[in-house]
Copies of this chain bind each other. A is one copy, B any other.
Amino acid sequence: MRSIRIPHPHVGLALRDKHFVTALLAEFLGVLLFQLLAGSIEHGPVETATAFAAIMYFVGPLSGGHLNPMVSLAGAATGHIDLVRGLCYAVVQILGAIMGAILQVWLISDFSFGAASDSCVAPPKHVSGPQLWGWEFLLAFFFLAVMYSSVFVAPGHGGAAPLAAGLALLAALSTGGFYTGGSPLNPARLFANMVVFRCDVAWGWTYLAAHLAAIGAAVAWVWPVHGLGMFMGGPRPDSFTGTANTLGGSSLTDPFLAGTTGSSGGPTSGTGGGGGGGG
């Protein structure tokens, strides 16, 4: 493994890059729409998952389609995006969710500033504090793991990535969501609830602590398994370009075959073909 190189890019420089600003606008608008759509009804897993997937189809080509501070911060922590991008994404995502919640107050008669709304999340009574934390942690880790294989680690899932993300949210919310009060696994949404509706404050920190732990667990899993990203000395994803389609098209069929190609090892010397190696 190469030595890890932490990039120190310059924020001011980045903001003069048109494409970086576009990506920030896309993330802002995306999370705004996510809060506006999925937060306007009670916590239906189907509505949350379809809104996330559809918005990811919208902003994916512009920003990568994170739509979640957990995803951006984890991606920065493992070097799959650079630190400035990760932090800026997280900030605009939170601002987007807050702006979405403000729009909700204007657009929905039942919503008002400082009063609990349908967007609020409350842990159910039959779940203890550690159980709430454990569920939220495991669900968040699961969601992060699917996002890593979808958008960060080459070859990704291509045009199916938003479907994978939506399915992960649907699976998590329609099962474990029963024990977390339907939390959408999204710190930005949580902050918006805290700031605009003044709800989720009491339990919000339990959720946030679980999210933070999930980022840590994702890093601990991704580092040895997939290797660090290009911003920490890992391989560039576009080094896959020549064969990206091949791997993308059949990555699920031959992960254990790549290693045997021209390998002197035995037939069991399989390799995580889709993983991109440990650098």
Contact = CB atoms under 8 A, between A and B. Distances in A.
Given A20-B268, A168-B57, A248 B109 contact: no
Contacts of A274: 60-62
A82 interface: yes
Contact of A17 (B128, B249, B252, B265): B265
Interface in A145-178: 145-146, 149-164, 166-168, 170-172, 174-176, 178
A15 to B, nearest CB: 9
A159 to B, nearest CB: 4
B272 A57 contact: no
A224 to B, nearest CB: 8
B38 A175 contact: yes
Contact of A13 (B44, B54, B243, B268): B268
B19 A249 contact: no
B60 A268 contact: no
A250 B244 contact: yes
B164 A135 contact: no
Contacts of A110: 126
Interface size of A as a range? 35 or more
A61 B272 contact: yes
Given A41-B175, A160-B159, A61 B253 contact: no
A109 B134 CA distance: 13
Interface string A245-256: 110111111111
22 contacts: A19-B270, A19-B272, A26-B225, A36-B138, A37-B176, A47-B171, A54-B168, A57-B146, A60-B274, A61-B149, A61-B252, A61-B273, A61-B275, A62-B275, A106-B131, A151-B253, A154-B253, A155-B249, A159-B251, A159-B252, A231-B267, A248-B249
